[in-house]
Chain A
Amino acid sequence: ELKVEQNPLFLSMQEGKNYTIYCNYSTTSDRLYWYRQDPGKSLESLFVLLSNGAVKQEGRLMASLDTKARLSTLHITAAVHDLSATYFCAVDGYDKIIFGKGTRLHILP
């Protein structure tokens, strides 16, 4: 059964700092998604990672996938207040797509 563990669940950080969110999963998959959600809104797609070693970057966010370790990371570089949101990873188990519990990111000025 596919399980997805995301950590940390809550992260408060200063503007300008770097940090990483981790997403571990339990069974084989070669497709992983990262989403952003603002309060009261739906989920916005950030990245889709399709193969081992995949790395994608958009602005201050960079995501990577290691399928052998069953691990994906979302790295935040020089955080700014606008990045405050909840971030989710989701793993595609070929039919089911299972989400982590999310990381609530709060960036302090």
Chain B
Amino acid sequence: DAGITQSPRHKVTETGTPVTLRCHQTENHRYMYWYRQDPGHGLRLIHYSYGVKDTDKGEVSDGYSVSRSKTEDFLLTLESATSSQTSVYFCAIKGTGANVLTFGAGSRLTVL
């Protein structure tokens, strides 16, 4: 999607390994969000950021950490991946006063 990219788009890893997903934006938006999408659960908020170094927990934050050291990048880290973290992860951005929450293309993570 224009202005927001996620990497990697696909990843297969093993239980117990660390994984970092990256969300990069070129819109200079203040708010950035990480969601996971699983069948039957819709999108669930993991963590969000409202500025550089300002982050907070969402609905399902256990097992995840985030960092935002600059406006354009929001990293999601699984310190020790588990099979329950197999999911599609979406990043989204929203500017102050902006009317739209814009999503990235998604990152499909499989934990074996």
Contacts and interface: CB of A to CB of B under 8 A. Distances in A.
Interface of A: 6, 33, 42-43, 45, 48, 50, 88, 90, 92, 95-102
Interface string B87-111: 0001010100001111111100000
Interface in B51-93: 56, 58-59, 90, 92
A43 B90 contact: yes
Main secondary structure of the interface of B (DSSP, over half): strand
B45 interface: yes
Given A50-B99, A95-B31, 11 more contacts: A42-B105, A43-B90, A43-B103, A95-B48, A96-B45, A96-B56, A97-B33, A99-B35, A99-B43, A101-B42, A102-B42
Of all A-B residue pairs in the complex, the 3 with the closest CB atoms, nearest first, are A101-B42, A99-B43, A48-B99
A33 B42 CA distance: 14
A90 B101 contact: yes
Contacts of B102: 45
Q: For the side of the interface on B, what is the size category?
A: 20 to 34
A96 B102 CA distance: 14
* Residue among B44, B45, B100, B101 facing the most chain A CB atoms (10 A cut-off): B101
Interface of B: 1, 31, 33, 35, 40-45, 48, 50, 56, 58-59, 90, 92, 94, 99-106
A103 B92 CA distance: 20
B99 A97 contact: no
B42 A97 contact: no
A8 to B, nearest CB: 13
**From B1, B99, B100, residue with most partner A Cβ within 10 Å:** B99
